[in-house]
Structure 1
Amino acid sequence: MKKSLKYIIGLVILVVVVVAGYFSFAGGKKKEAETVTIGIMSGSKQDDKVWKSVTKTAKDKYNLNLKFKKFTDYSQPNKALTSGSIDLNSFQHYAFLDAWNKANKTSIEPIGKTIIIPIRLYSNKVKNVKDIGNGSTIAVPNDATNESRALYVLKNAGLITLKSDTKLATVKSIAKNPKNLKIKELDASQTARSLSDVTAAVINGNYAETAGIDYKSAIYVEPVNKDSEQWINVIAANKKDKNKKAYKEVVKAYQSEATKKAIKDVYGTAELPAWDIKLK
């Protein structure tokens, strides 16, 4: 074999080895996963199963590691987000976030819809809203956002009407009360216990679950319409971070068919995926 040919072959082998080495040790190295820490409330095993599904999608599709910091008080996740100890949070609806920003002069913004948990009207005394008689007592939560929500439920159930300019409803917002219903304002955690004393009570989903009330036993379910849009839960970020690629990918991981299936599997219709709901 001629020396020139041997030289060319040797050079080709060297190039192949160098290129292979580059892709093996440098160019072929998988990009390290980015970690995103999300603040959530200490919830049920069902919640954990939903987030487990989201975590898998985030890892498989977007190479993100999701970590969670759990809180027990609703005042904590937004404080943690503002301080920078978490990257995102997911526990609140639009109305809560809006009220929080106004009260605390913060600039937290929603970056993606997650779920809506329809609030429900329950009764141990009647089987149908139409059976609620004149002068009946209806219990509602007494905190600002949930009381408003409960009154909108009574409005949509045809029991009362609200003044046309109402946003955050109170009992003073009631325009017409044809059955002269007595609205009993209670701490949200006490509404389930009141069922033996009142004709009906508007009860948040988590308190109904804690009290062992089957959500299917409700005599009226909050409709998903423009009145209820403000109760859609969101993933939230600090305003300065709202366009970060990784955070948008967390939203995409949540708003997936896998998440939708997980929600249905563990909650049935007690909770509903909200990102593609058409509001009437």
Structure 2
Amino acid sequence: MRHFRRQKKLIISGIAALLIAALAWLSFSPHSGDIVLMDPNQDSSASSSASGKHVTVGVAGLSSATQQVWAAVSKIARNRYGITVSIKNFTDYNQPNQALQNGDIDLNAYQHYAFLNAWNKANHADLVGIGTTVIAPIRLYSRQYSSVQDIPRGSTIAVPNDATNESRALLTLQHAGLISVKLPKNGLATVASITDNPKKLTIKEVPPDQTPRVLESVAGSVINDDFAASSNTPLSLAIATEPVDASSHQWLNIIAARKKDAHNDLFAKVVECYQSDEIATVIRRAYGGRTLPAFGEYLKRLEDQHAE
């Protein structure tokens, strides 16, 4: 009996090992459009210089949706131009820019213009955006009301309390007709920037990660896309969406490069592969409509939609 139990354990262990190996192969295989995932500590500069057809892209906090998008980009780049696209995932939001500045990666794709500009200024760097990718509009969500018109006088609206997202939230409330704001010289609205509040709303500033949690106790909460997705806040609860217009250009996500590589033909081909109809379709499917393609005709349609 003991011998049988020992054999059974060995068989189970063997099956488990095979399953782990199979999952690892599926996760990291470069075939069938899957991306090559690199260790953040791995030096990619040698492989990039050894082959003019190898491009390493840095990202931060690689999500399933982002992985699906870059797998599709990788497949198009390989089939169309013979380019191998590798992805390096970083856990800190400053690391991809530092790695790009140091020449450890070729491109990165994880930030919007506003973040890049602030990072360049703080680090005396000159990284540049060479192509737009997506935009993740901030939205006003409500469990109690189906439209902004239904929100009663004296209600409370929660907004994130970090500088950039609070400004985006207040401008979204302005676009929805709930308040009016006057932007200060730094271009970032605060509660003090409100010039008209006809419904006498109370604007409650809370930490960004708390905006989904307070949704039950307020008339509405303006929630950043990342926290709306991670908290599984249904998109169907959104009653107002940040407009995509000239003022929201700074929130467009981008593919960034070193300034000297701004016109690099190989990198331009990767941008071209990203800014394709195929990738626009993958973006919509992978992100469930929360994050939207923001390039070419797709960006123009968003701008036209909000101009109407």
The offset of 1:43, in angstroms, is 3.1
The more displaced of 221-230 and 89-98 is 221-230
Select the residue among 138, 151, 167 that pairs with 2:157: 138
- DSSP-derived class of the 1:228 partner: helix
The offset of 1:143, in angstroms, is 1.6
Check conservation: 1:121, 1:200, Cα contact below 8 A: yes
The offset of 1:145, in angstroms, is 1.4
The offset of 1:267, in angstroms, is 2.8
Give the TM-score, by structure 1 length: 0.83
Task: Report the counterpart of residue 205 of structure 1 in structure 2.
Answer: 225
Residue type matched to 2:106 in 1?
A: D
Q: Distance in 2 between matches of 1:223 and 1:122?
A: 15
Select the residue among 103, 115, 124 that pairs with 1:84: 103
Structure 2: give runs of 5+ residues left out of the alignment: 1-50
Check conservation: 2:73, 2:274, Cα contact below 8 A: yes
Q: What per-residue deviation string (whole Å, max 9, x for no partner) do you get for residues 106-153 of structure 1?
A: 211110010111211111222211122222221111222111111111
The offset of 1:84, in angstroms, is 1.8
Q: What per-residue deviation string (whole Å, max 9, x for no partner) do you get for residues 170-228 of structure 1?
A: 22222212222222222211111111222211111121111111112211122222232
Q: What per-residue deviation string (whole Å, max 9, x for no partner) do you get for residues 52-95 of structure 1?
A: 11001111112211111112222222122112221111111112
Q: Distance in 2 between matches of 1:195 and 1:63?
A: 48
The offset of 1:36, in angstroms, is 1.0
Q: Does 1:74 find its partner at 2:102?
A: no
Task: Report the counterpart of residue 46 of structure 1 in structure 2.
Answer: 65
Select the residue among 192, 197, 213 that pairs with 1:177: 197
For CA contacts below 8 A with separation 6 or more, give which structure has more relative contact order.
1
Q: Does 1:271 find its partner at 2:295?
A: no
Which has the higher Rg, Structure 1 or Structure 2?
1
Residue type matched to 2:223 in 1?
A: I
CA RMSD of the aligned region, Å? 1.9
Task: Report the counterpart of residue 93 of structure 1 in structure 2.
Answer: 112
Within a 5 Å distance, the mapping from 1:110-121 to structure 2 comes to 110-121=129-140
Within a 5 Å distance, the mapping from 1:122-133 to structure 2 comes to 122-133=141-152
Q: How many residues align?
A: 250
The offset of 1:164, in angstroms, is 5.6
Q: Distance in 2 between matches of 1:46 and 1:76?
A: 21
The offset of 1:102, in angstroms, is 2.1
Residue type matched to 1:45 in 2?
A: S
Check conservation: 1:33, 1:63, Cα contact below 8 A: no
The offset of 1:165, in angstroms, is 5.7
- Percent of aligned pairs with the same residue? 49
- DSSP-derived class of the 2:111 partner: strand
* Runs of 4 or more above 4 Å deviation: none
Residue type matched to 1:99 in 2?
A: A
Check conservation: 1:144, 1:168, Cα contact below 8 A: yes
Structure 1: give runs of 5+ residues left out of the alignment: 1-31
Give the TM-score, by structure 2 length: 0.76
Q: Distance in 2 between matches of 1:246 and 1:179?
A: 54
Q: Distance in 2 between matches of 1:61 and 1:217?
A: 41
Q: Which structure carries more helix by proportion?
A: 2
